[in-house]
């Protein structure tokens, strides 16, 4: 049975790195953040409506990776013998926070997706890694990073899916995440 593990947190907290490392460790796939591809192609001057397009793209990308794993399991007759994992870099909680933080409102369908989508574990990346600039990142200052982190933490504390805080260096994060996943039997 497919287990879906979402890695979330503010920008530049090692989400993509951790997803990729975990996928390599567990010999599975990871679903990247659709927004990165979209903004690199369309520019960083985005609108509220662009965030709806990005959210829909993220959902489609996630579903595509789920289908790839399901096809692999059927082809290799592993459905009964293996708990496959999919690591997901970004979900609709991230889209909700982004919409509300930047525009003060959220698309209704994002909230609806939050209510209906099911995941097995969330990992919240702490802001203890140094912020690294790239052409897409918007919040280098400490205060917005703290504020965004606290928003994510509050969301996770007030929903029912198990979650864990991931801190430390990239190596420590990977080691801690593997330990959490293995102890959770996910």
CATH classification at residue 59:
3.40.50.300
pLDDT at 78: 53
Q: Which of 151, 174, 127, 102 is nearest to 11 (CA)?
A: 127
- Report pLDDT for 145: 93
Instruction: Report how far residue 115's alpha carbon sits from residue 117's, in angstroms, rounded to the nearest whole number.
Output: 6
Entry pTM: 0.91
Q: What is the mean predicted confidence (pLDDT) over 73-88? A: 68
Number of domains in the chain: 1
DSSP assigned state of 120: S
Which is it for the CA torsion 93, 96, 99, 104, positive or negative?
negative
Q: Which residue has the tokens 């999919």?
A: 86
Confidence of residue 77 (pLDDT cuts 50, 70, 90): low
Long-range contacts of 176-182 (CB under 8 A, 24+ apart): 177/18, 177/22, 177/123, 178/22, 178/25, 180/121, 180/123, 181/5, 181/22, 181/26, 181/85, 181/121
pLDDT higher than 70, residue 79: no
Range of the domain at 37: 3-183
* Beta bridge mates, 122: 6, 163
How sure is the predictor about 154, in pLDDT bands with cuts at 50, 70 and 90?
A: very high
> What are φ and ψ of residue 139, in 5° steps?
-125, 75
The C-alpha angle 16, 20, 21, rounded to 5 degrees, equals: 115
Higher pLDDT, 168 or 73: 168
DSSP letters, 56-81, are HHHHHHHHHHHHHHHHHHHHTT-TTT
Which tokens hold the place of 178? 């593997």
Q: What is the pLDDT of residue 133?
A: 73
Q: Is the pLDDT of residue 80 over 60?
A: no
pLDDT tens for 19-55 read 999 999 999 999 999 999 999 999 999 999 999 999 9
Beta carbons of 5 and 22 less than 8 angstroms apart: yes
């Amino acid at each position: 049975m497919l287990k879906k593990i979402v890695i979330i947190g503010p920008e530049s907290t090692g989400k993509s790195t951790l997803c990729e490392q975990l996928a390599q460790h567990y010999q599975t796939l990871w679903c990247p953040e659709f927004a990165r591809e979209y903004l690199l192609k369309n520019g960083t001057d985005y609108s509220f409506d662009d965030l709806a397009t990005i959210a829909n793209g993220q959902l489609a990308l996630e579903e595509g990776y789920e289908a790839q794993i399901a096809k692999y399991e059927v082809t290799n007759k592993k459905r009964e013998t293996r708990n496959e994992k999919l690591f997901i870099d970004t979900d609709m909680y991230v889209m909700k926070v982004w919409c509300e933080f930047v525009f003060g409102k959220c698309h209704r369908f994002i909230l609806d997706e939050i209510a209906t989508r099911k995941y097995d574990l969330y990992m919240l990346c702490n802001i203890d890694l140094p912020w690294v600039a790239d052409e897409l990142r918007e919040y280098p200052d400490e205060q917005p990073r703290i504020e965004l982190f606290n928003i994510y933490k509050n969301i996770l504390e007030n929903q029912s899916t198990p979650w864990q805080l991931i801190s430390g260096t990239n190596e420590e994060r990977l080691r801690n995440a593997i330990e959490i996943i293995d102890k959770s039997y996910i």
